[in-house]
Structure formats: structure tokens, C-alpha cells
Amino acid sequence: MEPFLQLAPHSLAIVLSRLPEVSAGVSESSEPPRHHTGYEIFADFKALNASYFWNKMVADAIAETFFLGWIDEHVLLIQGEEEHLEALREAWMRRSLKPPHGFDIKYLGNHHLHPRAHPRLAAQRTAAPRTPYLSMR
């Protein structure tokens, strides 16, 4: 059995993929494309999923999760109580969890990421010795 990296207790990795930008035509814009911060993407995710009036567990889970990090421009790391994270996993399996604008949710990961699931983390694991914030299980 291969080892897993524990990033943070009671956390969930939401692996996103950017949707291709749809343009109605060629337009000249002096503004560069907007680069979103991880927290802005998390806030958008929370806002889109906050109105789960038909499922109080999911609404509570969204309200009680916190932004933990934004890894490699496509992994949103959130933290919350395990029951809330499980409610989000179930909502995603039922295809009722909405992705942030401009993204699609590829999959949800546990608080343990397999080194092959994210090449940069695998490289860090082999290149650096064990650190206090990454623990091997």
C-alpha cells in the first residue's frame, strides 16, 4: 500500500477544472483576463451553494466550512467538521453541488491526497524531508 499525505485534519480538497471561455466574437480588450484568488473562488462556491433550502444538512455544511487554501490554481482546500464535509461529498455524488463560476468540479478528495493525484505534492514528498505541517500516514 502506498503512503498518503495528510494535508490538514478535517479538510476536503475540491479539484476543479477551468471551463473554456466562450466569446461571442473577437474583441479587443485593454484589460488582461481577471486572475481569481483562491478565497474569491471559495466565496463564489459558498454563495452558489448557500441556498440549499431543500437540504438543511448541505446548507449547514456550506455555512460552517472555511477556506484553507488554493493549491496549484485548481485545488480548493476547505476545512470543517467531518459531518459537514460528508454532507458535501454526498451532495457532490448526487450532482447537486454547484461549482464556482468558470469552473467544473472534477472530483472531491479526502483530507489525504494520494501523491499521484497531484504531481507537485508528489515531487515535494520525494524532494523534502518530513515537515510539521505534512504528516505521513
pLDDT tens for residues 22-46? 655 555 544 444 557 999 999 999 9
Q: What percent of the chain has pLDDT over 70?
A: 64
Q: Is the pLDDT of residue 124 over 70?
A: no
Q: Is the pLDDT of residue 107 over 50?
A: yes
Secondary structure of the chain in the HEC alphabet? CCCCEECCCCEEEEEEEECCCCCCCCCCCCCCCCCCCHHHHHHHHHHHHCCCCCCHHHHHHHHCCEEEEEECCCEEEEECCHHHHHHHHHHHHCCCCCCCCCEEEEEEECCEECHHHCHHHHHHHHHCCCECCEEEC
